[in-house]
Structure 1
Amino acid sequence: MSNRLYSPKLSEYTKIEGARFTAKDFCETLDGGQAFRWHRTDQFTDATPEYFGVFGNNFAKLKLGSDGQVWGAFRLDGKKISEHAKELAEYLDCGTDYESVRKRLRATRDPAMLRALEIHPSLRILRQNPAEAIICFICSSSKRIVQIKQCVQLLAENLGEELSEGVFALPGFDKIADAPIEVLRSCKLGFRADYLKKSAEKIRRDKFDPMSLRELPYEDAKSYLTSLSGIGDKVADCILLFGASRFEAFPVDTWIKQAMTEIYSTPADAKKIRAFAAEKFGDLSGFAQQLIFAAKRKNLI
């Protein structure tokens, strides 16, 4: 998707405090399957990657300097640039002390984890809006990242608020619940259209606040999510990890199942793999998962 489709007037680039990455980890964090609304700009290079995208009601271009510093330019919408920068810093989870997190994982002295930490020294977990994570990960079932991005973009264009010409926020659950099923299916969702509509209807009926996923006990939060249509254990854990910052959530997909059976000789059973990870990595098992996932996907561990 070319950034020529998106041409709102933007601010000058501003430094995002606390946001530093290697180029590889910047790309992996934004474009490795945690979120689906970021796209490479025409100025993207491997050494200095640059993306454009929407988070919440914010449109931004993000670029990585040669020194690893993240810079952001934002749609001019009357809000102070400092407020945009603060919201982006929260989205990039700049409030978490990742050095302390990495130190705790290094203390496990697990060879595979030490290797993954070496490969990805600045990877982090995005702190997305939980409602957006629910929507995006219901759309993600059995699809590749490029396909998920297309579905999510069509959903925003068909039902979301137009922030400026060509720039759309994701719709809320009311809009999705009220939408004709034909509109949802036109977003290339296939069978996921029914899942998304039924889930939106239940969330509205229950008056459930997705932000509560950050505070509820983990098992209660996961139990509610798996009561929604189209959400099993893996998708629930993706929502909790990438949308609710629940580092104890350990999504098990094909890549992780392969990695855990090969590296740790675990049974090829998702429940047993999650139990093994919880015992080995504790309340950081979700961050450990992302490190292992990223390294294994590139055949580096």
Structure 2
Amino acid sequence: MSKIAFIYPGQGAQKAGMGADFYQKNETARRIYDEAGEVLGLDMKALCFEPNDKLDLTEYTQAALVTTCLAMTRAAQEQGLKADITAGLSLGEYCAIAVAGGMSDMDAIRLVRKRGILMQNTVPAGEGAMCAIMAMDEQAIEAVTDAIDGVTIANYNCPGQIVITGETGAVKEAEAKLKEAGAKRTVMLNVSGPFHSPMLRKAGEELAEELARTQLHALEIPYVTNVTAKAVTDIAQTAALLEEQVSSPVRWMQSMEAMIADGVDIFVEIGPGRTLAGFMKKINRDVKVYNIATLEDVEKVAAELVR
């Protein structure tokens, strides 16, 4: 019997127009966008559907992307699509928890709005950086970063794509040494801070105060956390994990490997783009990956998976 996972992308997947067809044609999705706009005091339609300068700013991106992914998911569930387990990359983990039953959709959206503001403002502009390292073994990358103060791994995305993070000077030093050590390609990322680095520990601590005021619910299905790449079944662990997640590495590759080892053989990526499907091609080609980015996708995927 197949096991189905819903998986959610992180920052970088956003694009103008995402979710517009859901808003226009699905009442449940429309309600989520409208309610999110009211809760946050933002024009969510303008932010998500129209070309604008805010969508790529962290303090807006996170709320926009989580709103969109949850609107898409609730529309998909109306068509009978169900998950046995969920996971999300970085901010996508909030979608995973909400869909697993651990928090309300509006609390997930409210929390990532706060998280985005904290992540953007904790480290002054220019002091932190991130760099993607391509086609290099993770142990070889760790050997270099472990020897340089101020730089750590941010994301284990898939074999051949690891992201490093930290103080700008340290990241650039590591980039140069990784090239010397055989990295095929490196790309400095256009981001507003050193995400998933110890430099953001204070942001995690401040987010914890918001989490303490948030009502969490018993999980209906497990979700896999970025922090340990293990399934969470007890909601009591969630607040501490979300605090730690802000400043610790995203173990996406390990999370997917753990889910596959647990019998998951169908992954449904819900959200704009196909980033996670691309990672999965390098992690394991034997599993099936479906994408839901449009209302038409919902119908196609439901036709295949709903029995």
Q: TM-score, normalised by structure 1?
A: 0.33
Instruction: Indicate the structure whose relative CO is greater, using CA pairs within 8 Å and at least 6 residues apart.
Output: 2
The structure whose residues are more often strand, as a share, is 2
